[in-house]
């Protein structure tokens, strides 16, 4: 099977530590391209991270670079 192409610039990021803040994730992914928006999903009651989020990159090329080079990278031990 071939790896599927990313059709857009919005990325789903999972496996995040509950200690990771949006600013940290933005800085981490900015190494491979320009990040327009970064949102970590939090529990509405406890405000604790649910371990995943969404990142909007400036272009599909930036998104592809993040997928290729940041996949399985480590941030805050995860």
Of 7-11, 32-36, 48-52, minimum mean pLDDT range: 7-11
Report yes or no on 36 lying in a domain: yes
pLDDT at position 43 over 70 = yes
CA distances from 32 to 1, 13, 18, 42, 65 (A): 26, 15, 23, 25, 6
CATH number of the domain encompassing residue 46: 3.30.70.330
Q: What's the pTM?
A: 0.81
Domain residues for the domain of 21 are: 10-72
* Residue-level pLDDT at 6: 58
Rounded Cα distance, 17 and 34, in Å: 22
SS3 27: helix
The mean pLDDT of 60-66, rounded to a whole number, is 91
**Mean pLDDT across the chain:** 88
The answer to whether residue 46 sits within a structural domain is yes
Stated as kind and residue range, the H or E segment containing 68 is helix 60-70
């Amino acid at each position: 099977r071939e790896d599927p192409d990313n059709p857009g610039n919005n990325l789903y990021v999972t496996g995040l530590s509950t200690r990771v803040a949006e600013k940290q994730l933005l800085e981490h992914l900015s190494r491979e391209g320009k990040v327009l928006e970064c949102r970590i999903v939090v529990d509405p009651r406890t405000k604790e991270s649910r371990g995943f989020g969404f990142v909007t990159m400036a272009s599909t090329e930036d998104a592809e670079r993040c997928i290729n080079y940041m996949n399985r990278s480590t941030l805050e031990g995860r």
